[in-house]
Chain A
Amino acid sequence: GISDGEEQGGPGEQRSSPTHPPFGKKQLPSIPKNAVPITKAASPASSTESANGTHASYGPFYLEYSLLAEFTLVIKQRLPGIYVQPSYRSTLMWFGVIFIRHGLYQDGVFKFTVYIPDNFPDGDCPRVIFDTPVFHPLVDSVSGELDVRRAFTKWRRNHNHIWQVLMYARTIFYKINTMDPLNPEAVVLYDKDFQLFKSKVVDSVKLCNSHLFDQPKIDDPFAISFSPWNPAVHEEAKDKMFRWPEDYNKGPLVSGLSWVKPGSTQPFSKEDIPLQT
């Protein structure tokens, strides 16, 4: 529903429009492809429709930027061992990979795809599907889908963010939860025959890693693909990565001005400036 103080303001009759979720299902009338544009002046009565019009024309921008904002948050979190990349074709689909560095699943490299509902952030929680179904109580052994919903029963805008889903996807490999499993077999083994469980995990990790260099499951220019180290290709990229902070500052030199002493709010309070009285 509606949340977080969206209801203030809004002039009169326009009030109805912005308070609706920007991409809500009722908000976005399907526009017939060959719709005849209305050329007559709109009477005041049509203003609510026009607000819808603004939404139809800009709605995709809102969605796109909501997802970009989510992505920016992910980057800011610097989640350990997790890399994601939105697909080329749609920001609603992100490719990702998790590196597990210790614990039962140590050395596991699990590729996954995140599917985000197109009424984000007002819809269901995003779905996470591993490319190869990992042997894990919370991962469906056939589809590879991770049980995300148990952690995000209700997706709440402003409170829930995609980085949390990614964080959750990582946590499950370090802290095994056996309640209401998607993969009951794994739970049975976990409880009854932990050694067998462990060896199945090891097998699963091996299996996943053996498919590491496979072509990406989804054909997309931005899909994550691994290949053996090839200096001709990778060396340069690596150098670039390590040089990144320098390169970043090299952009066209723009400098603002400041003579404010830190901690002061008086203009020209810095001391190392020429005296002029």
Chain B
Amino acid sequence: MTSMVVNGKRGGQSLVLKGVDPETCMIVFKNHWAQVVKILEKHDPLRSNVGGLGGGHGLGGGGGLASFRFGAIPGDEASAVQNYVEHMLFLLMEEECGQNGAMGPILEFVVMENVLERLFIWSLRREFTDDMKLEQLKMYEMLIGQAKQPLLHHKPVLKPLMMLLSSCSGSPSGPSSSAVETELVLLLNQLCCVLAKDPSVLELFFHTSEDQGAANFLIFSLLIPFIHREGSVGQQARDALLLIMALSAENQVVAKHIAENTYFCPVLATGLSGLYSSLPTKLDVPSEEWHCLHREDWQQLPALVQFLNSLEFCNAVIQVAHPSIRDQLVGYIHNGFLVPVLAPALHKLTLEEVMTTTAYLDLFIRSVSEPALLHTLLSFILLHRHDNVHILDTLVSRINTPFQLGTVSLALFRTLIGLHCEDVMLQLVFKYLIPCNHMMLSQRRVLRERDCYSVSAAKLLALTPSCCSPEVIPPPLRQLDSILWSKGTDGSHIGTMESKEVLSEEDDCGNSCVIGSEIYLDVSYLDYLCDAQNSISHCIRACCVWSAPYDGENPPPEEYQRSTLEEADLTATPGLLELEWDDSYDACPTQPHPEEDQETRPIPDEPPKHIQELRRTAVMIVKGSYIEESEFQNDVMVYDLVAQKDAHDSGNGYHAPSKPTEPAKQEVLDGPVTDQKTANSESLMSNGLSSPLDEMDSKKRGSQSEHKSLEGEDLMAQYEELIRTLGAQHSSPAKADGELKSPTVLMDDEEDEIDFNSFSPETPETEKLPSPFGTKPRSGSRGHAVPFTGPFLSVLLSRLENMPSNSLHVNLLLTGILAQLAAYPQPLLRSFLLNTNMVFQPSVRSLYQVLASVKNQIEQWSANNKDFPELLTAAQHSLLARESSLRADRIKKNPTIQPKTVVPLNETEVYATVLFTEFLKELAAFAQEHSILSYPPTEQ
């Protein structure tokens, strides 16, 4: 009925009113009111006692609502009142202000006669049903929204409104209907809008609340229950709350009230925990390529949408609210959500759960923008310890996990590095580079030098595999273009320049090197240069807020060598054994801590429980493992070996790496794993043994674990045993083929070549196993601090070294992250990644060394595969098609033409080769752009 009033009659009514003079309106209003009063008084329970006209005002102190209700009110009288009231409201709304902002006569009458309060009591007199509430709520909504003069300043208007609101909050008959809630929130939102426009009303709201016996900010308290509500009601409530938050920034009373007398912050923060608990604990991963939650992904998950809405709201509150509210909220989020909920979730028992939590964490970080909230999230990651292990260390150690957890972790780090946050970069990278232990002492002074002559770029580009040399690539793909190379020799008075058009090799005097006027340039390289310039200058500007330049002088290396930094760190960094999955140290055959540390520090008998569990489930995943998991400290080694064994058991030697989708591997996946339905097979394969390289890898890890393992001797014995059996098994089919030579991994020529015959049964001892890294400290070097660039860089480089066997998307992530790092202008990092002339300590693997190793793997591979060039061309076409389809996706869904021959994605070497070549260009471009960018004045 009321809605009909609100929506239907209003238009007509106001039209009618237009020509009518105010006096007539006043007369009509009074008339209506007189009629209403008649009916009201007829049913006034107090009338007989008091007898006066205005006697029934006020609710009285403790009188329950029910006490007013006696005797049924006939329906015709109720609707008569309603009809009159409708007309009266229109008259009130349409009334203009009086002169000088005085009340118009109708409003004055309303105030004098206390019309609204009496109407509210009337509605209480009748059954105070949801319909009644709705009617009243809509009445006020209309009045506040459409009245032409301010109403809320008048207590006789405000008071009944507050009574109505409190009756909605304290409804004894259980929760109100959703219609009432919707209307209530709408009205509250409207009131907040009025507050935002006219803060002077605020005072009145507080005072009126006090009249009600509770010194609370009723509007605000009523909104709190709707904070986490989904849909438009929740959105409206949050918008309204934000208006109040903005008010709080300027109004100390409001801020103090919210912080001290309301549950706003706890509700908000613990609400996050509640919403988080309803998120799926395992995600249905769409494909093996998947590694982070994009908008398309999370929009499919209503629970996640709701969580993000609330998180976004927290972000907004922190942005606008008073610092006291901000600090309180941030504290509750840390203590009420991150620590009790997210930390355990990051240490769940199964890979899928942990992976899912990691993806959520990544999404959360990407979803917030307020520094204070980022501060909370980041300090949780960097400083919080779960089971005595820093979250960050756990996350870093997971980069090297097989399965999708590794790539999801990589994606998280991509996000973290993209924040340009000094604290993050300090913990991940700079902490380890500041002491300058990773380089030769003499190199410190060249740390800041720029590569004036693009020497590093040239060295990087010279690693281009021969099969990918710009001239070998057939025309459609090779982006060579002839560019007019003018030498600016217009000045005819310059003698030597006259020969410029001549194509000739010149004399020895070096005076006039003559080149052709046209040269073929790799024009795609121009794009890399352009991108590099943008990334670097963006990064430079972002890093302006950092505390130090990290240039090898500030912070001073001496102060952080061993004594201070590392000791400070001892308590902070967990022992290796506590890190799950960790073989991140493999890339650098050293330990971050000298042996003494490990010996003096009490090492727990067993790793934390969650790690044991995780390990157990992981081992269960791999079918038919004949190795007791407890015998190994190094999980990844377990994976490698078990996967190898499986491959052999099914009768397929690993010698056919060009066909990685062998049944053997399928079988590995079809095992008990199947609840993990998606093909994270790829990541298992990529980590597992599609090439003999991996065996070397595991060998490497094996000898590595010697350092790590407490029961190293036992472990090594078992390991060798395993290697021996494997070696014996696989050598026969290889020999039968009579074709496959033991592939070798070419290291830099000063290092030993790997002879895979050493895996034969005759030479099982470790001593005879050549180390892939000639300089690796053997047992003798235990107990000495060995230069180390930190687990993060090490693990990145170690994964990069496996580029040929990594799947495409892993390589895209890896190279992407390294490119992000390469954009950082800090000389410590820049010189480590891009200065190919730096001399590092022998135990430190540089990016350049790793790239050289990848190049050699590729050269080997291409030399042994006749159809490599064709595959390579096809892969380049596939990648180009992929890129254009991604681009088309962004604009509109438009199916793009597929290349004729599609190279299967499991031909990882082929894709890796293409990617490697492009990555070299990308890095070279970074090196060149760093050399010419003018840094901010601070560098002066």
Contacts and interface: CB of A to CB of B under 8 A. Distances in A.
A158 B837 CA distance: 13
A25 B505 CA distance: 7
Contacts of B519: 31, 56, 59-60
A66 interface: yes
Given A30-B505, A118-B515, A44 B545 contact: no
A117 B513 contact: yes
Contact of A25 (B506, B544, B848): B506
A152 interface: no
Nearest to B749: A12
A28 B515 contact: yes
Interface string A110-129: 00010101110111100101
Contact of A14 (B427, B430, B463, B543): B463
A73 to B, nearest CB: 8
Nearest to A66: B453
Given A30-B515, A62-B453, A268 B510 contact: no
A268 B547 CA distance: 11
Interface in B817-869: 836-837, 839, 848-849, 852, 855-856, 859, 862-863, 868-869
Interface in A180-221: 217-220
A228 to B, nearest CB: 27
A65 interface: yes
Interface stretch (B257-265, B327-335, B604-612, B722-730): B327-335
A25 B480 contact: no
Given A12-B749, A53-B472, A65-B928, 9 more contacts: A18-B455, A57-B520, A58-B522, A59-B519, A66-B454, A69-B931, A72-B933, A255-B544, A267-B426
Given A33-B482, A260-B546, A268-B423, A38 B472 contact: yes
Given A57-B522, A62-B457, A275 B327 contact: yes
Given A4-B837, A9-B849, A93-B489, A265 B466 contact: no
Given A93-B489, A220-B490, A268-B423, A11 B560 contact: no
Contacts of A255: 420, 541-542, 544-545
B464 A254 contact: no
Contacts of A9: 459, 748, 836, 848-849, 852
A41 B458 contact: no
Interface in A54-113: 54-62, 65-66, 68-73, 75-76, 87, 89-93, 113
A34 to B, nearest CB: 10
Nearest to B478: A37
Contacts of A225: none
Q: Which of B459, B462, B494, B748 has the most CB of A within 10 A?
A: B462
B510 A25 contact: yes
Q: Which of the four size classes fits the interface of chain B?
A: 35 or more
Contacts of B421: 256-258
Interface in B462-516: 462-464, 466-467, 469-475, 478, 480, 482-483, 485-491, 493-494, 503-506, 510-513, 515-516
Interface stretch (B126-134, B369-377, B642-650): B369-377
Contact of A90 (B486, B513, B518): B486
Is the contact region of chain A dominated by helix, strand, or loop, or is it mixed? loop
Interface in B418-462: 419-424, 426-427, 430-431, 434, 450-455, 457-459, 461-462
Nearest to B929: A65
B746 interface: yes
Contacts of A243: none
- Closest 10 A-B residue pairs measured CB to CB? A90-B488, A256-B420, A93-B488, A50-B469, A256-B542, A267-B423, A258-B422, A41-B869, A274-B327, A62-B454
Contact of B469 (A39, A42, A219): A42
Contacts of A55: 458, 462
B235 to A, nearest CB: 27
Contacts of A87: 488
A65 B490 contact: no
A30 B459 CA distance: 21
B178 interface: no
B914 interface: no
A226 interface: no
B490 A44 contact: no
Contacts of A90: 486-489
B529 interface: yes
A169 B470 CA distance: 42
A103 to B, nearest CB: 28
A219 B379 contact: no
Contact of B464 (A23, A54, A62, A218): A54
B837 A6 contact: yes
Given A50-B466, A268-B375, A113 B837 contact: no
Interface residues of A, number: 101
A230 interface: no
12 contacts: A14-B855, A50-B469, A54-B458, A59-B519, A90-B487, A124-B510, A124-B511, A219-B490, A255-B420, A256-B420, A256-B545, A262-B548
Contact of B547 (A6, A38, A43, A264): A264
A164 interface: no
B383 A69 contact: no
B472 A41 contact: yes
Given A5-B837, A265-B426, A11 B487 contact: no
Given A22-B455, A58-B458, A124-B511, A118 B472 contact: no
A118 B497 CA distance: 11
A39 B469 CA distance: 11
A178 interface: no
A50 B422 CA distance: 41
A267 B427 CA distance: 7
A217 B491 CA distance: 8
Contacts of B430: 265
A161 B856 CA distance: 37
B822 to A, nearest CB: 16
Contacts of A121: 452-453
A265 B692 CA distance: 43
Contact of A257 (B420, B471, B848, B856): B420
A89 to B, nearest CB: 5
B521 interface: yes
B542 A273 contact: no
Interface in B181-202: none
B470 A57 contact: yes
A257 B545 contact: yes
Interface string A225-240: 0000000000000000
Given A6-B455, A50-B469, A256 B837 contact: no
Interface in A141-166: 143, 157-158, 161
B426 A37 contact: no
Contacts of A33: 482, 516, 518
B326 interface: yes
A39 B839 contact: no
A219 B546 CA distance: 46
Contacts of A23: 513
B597 to A, nearest CB: 19
A1 to B, nearest CB: 10
Given A8-B837, A72-B934, A58 B525 contact: yes
Contact of B471 (A38, A43, A258): A38
A57 B920 CA distance: 14
A66 B471 contact: no
A154 to B, nearest CB: 11
B510 A119 contact: yes
A90 B489 CA distance: 8
B630 to A, nearest CB: 36
A53 B470 contact: yes
Given A41-B862, A121-B452, A267-B382, A11 B419 contact: no
Interface in B775-830: none
B547 A262 contact: yes
Contacts of A51: 462, 464, 469
B7 interface: no
